[in-house]
Amino acid sequence: HGHLEPLPDHGEVDVHGGDVFISQKKVGKIKINNVDYETHPGENPVSHLKHLGHVPEDEILSEFKDGQFVDLADNARVMIHGCEVFASHRKSGGSS
């Protein structure tokens, strides 16, 4: 009909001839430290997100969930659906 429309995963299409199909990679759009990034949807290692967002190794990445930021372990994995928000901060604590 002269316009593109997304097809559902595992859906079916009747092909009548002359139909055109275009594929594109699914992406999850996220924010890290107020900057927009794209990554693959599904599980993403925190280490990947830190690399993507140029977060220094000595900082902690936190995810905004249920109205608050929750610190993520460097070896954790995060489920990306799209629109997730992350922020980094310096590690705190220690004795003085």
Task: Enumerate the β-bridge partners of residue 38.
Answer: 29
Return d(Cα 12, Cα 53) in angstroms, integer: 37
User: Encoding tokens for residue 54?
Assistant: 């140029």
User: Along the 96 residues of the chain, how does pLDDT read in single tens digits?
Assistant: 566 677 777 777 788 777 777 776 678 899 999 999 999 888 999 999 999 999 999 999 999 999 999 999 999 999 999 899 999 999 876 544
Whole-prediction pTM value?
Answer: 0.70
